[in-house]
Amino acid sequence: MESDAIRLSHPTKSLQGTVELTGSKSESNRALIIQAWGGDRVEVSNLSSAADTETLKQALNSVAAVRGGKETTVIDIGPAGTAMRFLTAYLTTATGRYLLTGSERMKQRPIGILVDALRALGADIAFEGQAGYPPLAINGGFTQTTDKVTVKGNVSSQYLSALLLIAPTLPKGLRLQIDGELTSRPYLTMTLDMLHDAGIQHSWQDDTIYIAPQKAQHCRLTIEPDWSAASYWYAMVALSRDAQLFLPNLKSQSLQGDAAIADIMAHFGVASSFTDGGLLIRKVTDSPSTEINVLDFKECPDLAQTVIVCAAALRRDLSFTGLHTLKIKETDRIAALQNELGKFGVKLLEEGDVYHLKTGELQQPKRLSFDTYEDHRMAMAFAPLALAFDGIQINEPHVVEKSYPDFWKHLKQHGFVIT
Ligand SMILES: O=C(O)C1=C[C@@H](OP(=O)(O)O)[C@@H](O)[C@H](O)C1
Ligand SMILES: C=C(OP(=O)(O)O)C(=O)O
């Protein structure tokens, strides 16, 4: 066994009980930025325990402590993508000099589109390494030259959210024109909805969002549980023998696009019912409908790994679209999926913008050991396979800390044997 690895099995393959999920990392990270400029007026509750949220919180504390000093403050946000993008925009508005860096992978995740947009507004940012990528040298506190900026919409919605999150603090406000197709749209509307909850108005006409300079109103931003985290429990229910799980405080109307997992998993035999206190998910059939052939992940890219691995185990030869952003996330998620699915004989074939899952006969090799590529979602998407196979190994399991630190503890509480 690798030095840092766990073995995972589930003797009964039955899941019952309650899973208390942590707060949404996406909502939490937006709330922290709004609070950073909104001050005491903005209260935040049920913040995520995600390492990415903790990292952003600490970074913002260190910015508050600097108070415009002349020394350069180094901020290392590790693998946290939203923290990198949101802080890039926020630091241009804070006084002080900053060097914003991250993990080796973060230095390969593009940020040029956001930097260009901030520079167009008047911000002072330089690439310290390769042009277009972190680390960034930011000289905060700029004189805004224009309110108009045009940003490509199909690479990462995080660039747009980062700009919108500082828009109310800009002296001229922000007129953000989205160029071309918009990817991950629910994350953009989450940003606008959370700003609205803090009293910030916007208008959105055609391809342009406008936010005037405004102050936050007194508000409490209550973070919902994380739907992306819920997706792994859906996959476990789908692969179980029988299951009924209660996920407190999840609502059908969510700011999170990943609530789409409820509809997707209905095709995999999992029924969802919302009560006042949360969500009940149940395994209802072993032979789910075969009426869908294609699933699109353009609006919910973080669900792709969960669903593709689950479909592989259920031997559903589906096709997938909207996966174009997966190559620039925590790892190249397409390559990672192809490698790891291949370990039990499943292929994910690329044909232009469409990916086809080819399962055939499931092969159970003697030792099924999955690598995680420093990607929390690789670990959590493959873990449910412990219900489909006799036992599996997950390498570098600590990666789950990025968004769901209690993941393994929760699995143990629900009958998984982890050694
Ligand atoms: O704004 C956010 O909170 C996020 C947006 C998405 O990224 P892209 O917009 O880059 O697809 C998503 O994958 C990420 O996990 C979180
Ligand atoms: C892509 C993700 O996060 P980020 O971009 O914030 O690193 C994720 O959580 O799947």
If one counts every other C-beta atom within 10 angstroms of the C-beta of residue 65, the result is 10
Running DSSP on this structure, what letter comes out for residue 400? G
Residue pair 267/288 in contact by the 8 Å Cβ criterion: yes
For residue 374, what are the CA distances in angstroms to 75, 125, 126?
20, 28, 27
- Name the residue of 111, 158, 296, 404 whose CB sits within 8 Å of the most ligand 1 atoms, as the mutation to test its pocket: 158
Question: CATH code at 277?
Answer: 3.65.10.10
pTM of the shown model: 0.97
Pocket lining: 377 vs ligand 2, CB cutoff 6 Å: yes
> What is the average pLDDT across 265-292?
92
pLDDT score for 3:
61
pLDDT score for 134:
98
Which amino acid, one-letter code, is at 49?
Answer: S
> What is the average pLDDT across 403-411?
98
pLDDT score for 317:
95
pLDDT score for 287:
81
CA 329 to ligand 1 centroid distance, Å = 9
Same-domain status, 11 and 42: no
Task: State the pairing for strand pair 136-140/148-152.
Answer: unpaired
Report the pocket of ligand 1 as residue ranges, CB < 6 Å: 26, 82, 156-158, 161, 183-184, 187, 301-302, 325
Q: Is the pLDDT of residue 366 over 70?
A: yes
3-class DSSP assignment, residue 149: strand
Q: Is the pLDDT of residue 365 over 60?
A: yes
Model ipTM over 0.85: yes
CA 176 to ligand 2 centroid distance, Å = 23
* Distance from C-alpha of 19 to C-alpha of 16, rounded to nearest angstrom: 9
Of the ligands numbered here, which is closest to the C-alpha atom of 299? 1
> What is the average pLDDT across 77-87?
98
* Distance from C-alpha of 6 to C-alpha of 225, rounded to nearest angstrom: 27
Task: State the pairing for strand pair 148-152/174-179.
Answer: parallel
Same-domain status, 188 and 238: no
pLDDT score for 386:
97
CA 289 to ligand 1 centroid distance, Å = 30
Same-domain status, 243 and 308: yes
Residue 66's pLDDT band (cuts 50, 70, 90): confident
Residue pair 44/216 in contact by the 8 Å Cβ criterion: no
> What is the average pLDDT across 99-128?
98
Domain end point (choices 222, 244, 261): 222
Q: Closest Cα to atom 3, ligand 1: which residue?
A: 26
Largest CA distance in the chain: 65
CA 242 to ligand 1 centroid distance, Å = 33
Contacts of 40 (CB under 8 A, 6+ apart): none
> What is the average pLDDT across 350-357?
97
Same-domain status, 16 and 50: no
Residue 76's pLDDT band (cuts 50, 70, 90): very high
Of the ligands numbered here, which is closest to the C-alpha atom of 55? 2
Q: Give the position of tokens 């030869």.
A: 317
Same-domain status, 189 and 245: no
Residue 205's domain comprises: 25-222
Residue 337's pLDDT band (cuts 50, 70, 90): very high
Of the ligands numbered here, which is closest to the C-alpha atom of 56? 2
- DSSP labels for 94-117? SSEEEEEE--TTGGGS--HHHHHH
Q: Closest Cα to atom 8, ligand 1: which residue?
A: 156
Domain end point (choices 222, 247, 264): 222
pLDDT score for 145:
97
Residue pair 394/372 in contact by the 8 Å Cβ criterion: yes
Percentage, residues of the chain above pLDDT 90:
94
Same-domain status, 133 and 37: yes
Domain count, the chain: 2
Mean pLDDT of the chain: 96
Q: Which ligand 1 atom minimizes the distance to the CA of 29?
A: 3
Residue pair 309/295 in contact by the 8 Å Cβ criterion: no
pLDDT score for 361:
75
Q: Among all residues, which ones are annotated catalytic?
A: 302
Running DSSP on this structure, what letter comes out for residue 345? T
Q: Which ligand 2 atom minimizes the distance to the CA of 83?
A: 6
pLDDT digits (tens, 9 = 90+) for 152-177: 999 999 999 999 999 999 999 999 99
Q: Closest Cα to atom 8, ligand 2: which residue?
A: 302
Residue pair 267/273 in contact by the 8 Å Cβ criterion: no
> What is the average pLDDT across 227-238?
98
Q: Which ligand 2 atom minimizes the distance to the CA of 403?
A: 9
Residue 158 labeled ligand binder:
yes
Same-domain status, 10 and 78: no
Q: Is the pLDDT of residue 79 over 90?
A: yes
3-class DSSP assignment, residue 296: strand
Q: Is the pLDDT of residue 1 over 60?
A: no
CA 13 to ligand 1 centroid distance, Å = 33
